[in-house]
Amino acid sequence: MSQFTFPRQTNFYSGKVRDVYTIGDEWLVMIASNRISAFDVILPKPIPYKGPVLNQVAAYMLGKTKDICPNWLTATPAPNVAVGKRCEPFKVEMVVRGNLTGHAWRTYKEGQRILCGVTMTEGLVENDFFPTPIITPTTKASEGHDEDISREEIIAQQIVSEEDYKQLERYALALFERGKELAAKRGLILVDTKYEFGKIGNTIYLMDEIHTPDSSRYFYADGFEERLNNNHPQKQLSKEFVREWLIANNFMGKQGQVVPEMSDEWIQTISDRYIELYEQLIGEKFLPELLSDEETERRIMVALP
């Protein structure tokens, strides 16, 4: 993916998945690449169409939730490009969990019942619904691994003020509820997700992507109860299947571990799964639009204020 230079550009940052350009300290251009990361490691091969899928799902979901919380997005001039307001980010990610799976299940299975200061109910099995969704925040690391942290620690360490944190909780739970409603209409269960927020002045904005296969986990509703009762794996749409493949091949991002070889067939499988989630979640066929760098840059220039 090419690196651009825009008028009034004041910063450039290449993240795990997105390339982010700051324009005049007021605007951001985010270009979603086809890079894929897991366990905070960028895997060696890109996934075709992943960037456009992520960007378009995020834009769709931001549009469907803007009545709950203001968000940063102002335009999507190209399939893999988002333009919006630059916010001062809170240094926490709000992780909302509706079901006992992933990191929460791995913690629970080890016999622990407290995650990020939240007590998890006794007697649950993998993928069970929590009685009510829980928030298990993490620190937002500029590099390296995000770390679990509790609400009390966030407030005590003044990472976020108590007043702002309470608002982040309200927004996160309301957004999760809307996400579950949207997913249910499409035969899916929104299992867990993460939200990132920032501020402009005194106003809190929802930032980045929401309810995408990178930030969220979805199960198919059809057959969920049967699979749960029979202790069978859930049919899911998310990046978790990539993490599971890595774990099965002895890679969890730890020092000395080597990323397993990604065959062309496996890369195509991952791409197909991303497209499947787009089509299932949005209810429209995914139509790839391949643009030249020149056309992408032209569209971005038109979209910038």
| Cα(239)–Cα(261) distance, integer angstroms | 17
Domain boundaries, the chain: 89-241
Alpha helical stretches, state H, the chain: 50-65, 102-109, 151-156, 162-185, 224-229, 240-248, 264-282, 293-303
Buried b (16+ CB within 10 A) or exposed e, 61-81: bbebbeeebebbbebbbbbbb
| Cα(155)–Cα(229) distance, integer angstroms | 40
Q: What angle do CA 175, 218, 199 make, to 5 degrees?
A: 30
Per-residue pLDDT of the chain (305 residues; tens, 9 = 90+): 678 999 999 999 998 889 999 999 899 999 999 999 988 888 999 999 999 999 999 999 999 999 999 999 999 999 999 999 999 999 999 999 999 998 999 999 999 999 999 999 999 999 999 999 999 999 986 555 678 999 999 999 999 999 999 999 999 999 999 999 999 999 999 999 999 999 999 999 999 999 998 899 999 999 999 999 999 999 888 887 898 899 999 999 888 999 999 999 999 999 999 999 899 999 999 998 889 999 999 999 999 98
Contacts 24+ apart (CB under 8 A), 58-61: 58/82, 58/208, 58/209, 58/210, 58/211, 58/212, 60/281, 60/282, 61/179, 61/182, 61/210, 61/211, 61/212
Whether the Cβ atoms of residue 199 and residue 87 lie closer than 8 Å to each other: yes
| The pLDDT value given to residue 1 | 62
CB neighbourhood size of 202 (10 A): 6
| Cα(102)–Cα(121) distance, integer angstroms | 16
- Which residues are registered as beta bridge partners of 241? none
Find the length of the chain.
305
Q: What is the pTM of this model?
A: 0.91
| The pLDDT value given to residue 145 | 62
In this structure, what token pair is assigned to residue 27? 């605007």
| Cα(191)–Cα(205) distance, integer angstroms | 23
CATH code for the structural domain at 89-241: 3.30.470.20
| The pLDDT value given to residue 237 | 81
| The pLDDT value given to residue 146 | 75
